[in-house]
Amino acid sequence: MERRDARLGARLATLEVTNMSTIQPLPETIPAPTVVLRPERGRKGIFGGRPMWLIWPSIFLLVVIIGIPLLIAIYISFLNLDQYTLRSWISAPWVGLANYVTALTSGSVVGASAVASLGVSLAFSLLTTLFITPIGILAALTVNTRYRGRTLVRSLYLVPYVIPTFVTALVWRQMFLNGTGLVDRFLAAIHVANINTYWLLGPNSFWAMVIADVWASWAFIYIMVLAGLQSISHEVYEAADVDGANSWQKLTRVVLPQLRHILGLALLLSTLYHFNNFTLPFVMFGTPPPIQADVLPLNIYVSSFQLFNFGLGGAMSVITLILMLIPGFLYLRALRLGEVTAS
């Protein structure tokens, strides 16, 4: 029996490698071909005669929509920009790195300090992603094979995802109200918690935010995984069946390895999205929020638009941007997208 399992394992491993190569643009084991550029002979030499000017509008728009605002945000982060200097913001007093120092060292009477907010945001985005991943994968698996009513189930799965975040947050706020909300009533009915347990204040507010966001966003992982599942060839499952693989073995040895890259992308996008989620905590808690739920985007909003400290808000935004670039950069490096594209 053990020998049969070992044989099966070896064959599935082979199968995995074979099929991974079908969905990857280029197997990682094959070195990327070296691109040899010919000696430059004008533009034609570099671009191979392709009409590269067609990308100019895109570059122009990127500069206008992303580049200039980004530069302005960085510039603002070095200014003492408040209600008194707002109108002539370009000539607001230059304060160097003072806003960055304040962001990283000082507390705030409104909500949490920037560093504490960073911790809340990281925990919130990572935990939410951690929770929604198995839910999304399981949901995708339940609608991957054909059966009567599958379309209806697929549509129902999308409901939480298509409801506007504003509405989701309002509904969950009502459900989490202490004493009268459904959550407390339910927990009290099953004798798990007191009916007056606070969910919108104190440490529970963090978990209330996570629960609401998990409910609203698991369908994202579901959609991504389902797309990945649909790209797996039927023959692979049949081959696994022939080899006598059970459902668990098919999931762990065939399906998940093939989903590795799309799942990686989904996890990255999900983490970034949750880190930047502003609407949910803003509507659920209002301002100022409890410190345990004072995510960085909310902190930046309060600092900039309510306390009129735009310089500090700018510094916190730049810090956020740098932090967000790290996982994105690592992911691109891991996928070696640059090399593949160049090849």
Partner 1 sequence: MKVNIRRTGPWLSLLMLLSLVLAACGGGSSSSQGQTLHVLIGYNSTYPTQQKQWMQQIASEFQKANGATIAWDTYSSSNEEQTKLQTSIVSGSGPDVFSFGTTFVPTAQATKGFTTLTDQDWKAVGGKDRFFQQQLTMSGSSPNQLIAVPWVMRPFAMAYNKDLFQKAGITAPPTTWTQFVQDAQKMTDPSAGVYGAEIDPSDTFDPWKIWWMFAEQMGGSFISQDLKTAQMNTPEAVQAVKFWFDWATTYKIVNPNAMAWKTGDALKAFANGKVGMQIMTTTTVTPTLQKSAVAGKYAFAPMPTVPYGMQQRPANGVPAATIVSGDMLAVADYSNVKDLAFKFINLVTEYQHQIQWTKTFGDLPANVQAANNLASTDPQTAAFIQAEQGATPTPFTGTWGPLEVALAGVSSKLANEVATNRYDPSHIKPLLDQANQQIQGQLH
| Interface contacts to partner 1, rule CB under 8 A | 43, 51, 53-54, 56-57, 60-61, 64, 82-84, 86-87, 89, 107-111, 177-179, 196, 198, 200-203, 286-291, 302, 305-309
In this complex, which beta carbon is closest to partner 1, that of residue 109 or of residue 326?
109
Q: Which CB, 273 or 301, lies closer to partner 1? A: 301
Q: Which is nearer to partner 1, 308 or 331 (CB)?
A: 308
Q: How far is the CB of 248 from partner 1 (least distance, A)?
A: 43
> Letter for the amino acid at 130?
L
Q: Locate tokens 């399981």: which residue?
A: 138
Q: How far is the CB of 274 from partner 1 (least distance, A)?
A: 22
Q: What is the 3-state secondary structure (H, E, C) of 304-343?
A: HHHCCCHHHHHHHHHHHHHHHHHHHHHHHHHHCHHHHHHC
Taking the complex as a whole, the smallest distance from the CB of residue 56 to partner 1 amounts, in Å, to 5
Tokens of 322: 């740098």
Of 4 and 43, the one with the shorter C-beta distance to partner 1 is 43
Provide the CA 323 distance to its chain's centre, in angstroms.
Answer: 13
Closer of 166 and 329 to partner 1 (Cβ): 166
CB 168 → partner 1: shortest distance, Å?
18
Nearest approach, Cβ of residue 279 and partner 1 (Å): 12
- Smallest distance from partner 1 to CB 80, Å: 10
Structure tokens at 37: 């550029």
Contact 165, 279 (CB under 8 A): yes
Coil, strand, or helix at residue 79? Answer: strand
Phi, psi for residue 269 in degrees, rounded to 5 = -65, -40
**Shortest Cβ 195–partner 1 spacing (Å):** 9
Q: Residue 33 or 179: which CB sits closer to partner 1?
A: 179
DSSP 72: H
Collapsing DSSP to helix, strand or coil, 113 comes out as coil
Q: Least Å distance between CB 116 and partner 1?
A: 12
CB-nearer residue toward partner 1: 35 or 189: 189
What's the CA gap between 129 and 336, in Å, rounded?
Answer: 24
Nearer to partner 1, 99 or 271 (CB): 99
Which CB sits closer to partner 1, 201 or 265?
201
Phi and psi at residue 94, to the nearest 5°? -80, 125
CA 231 to chain centre: 22
How many Å apart are CA 39 and CA 37, to the nearest integer? 6
Q: How far is the CB of 201 from partner 1 (least distance, A)?
A: 4
CA angle centred on 211, ends 292 and 162, rounded to 5°: 120
**In Å, what is the CA distance from 24 to each residue of 16, 251, 258, 340?**
12, 19, 9, 10
Tell me how far apart the alpha carbons of residues 201 and 289 are, in angstroms, rounded to a whole number. Answer: 8
Q: Name which of 306, 319, 314, 310 is nearest 88 in CA terms.
A: 310
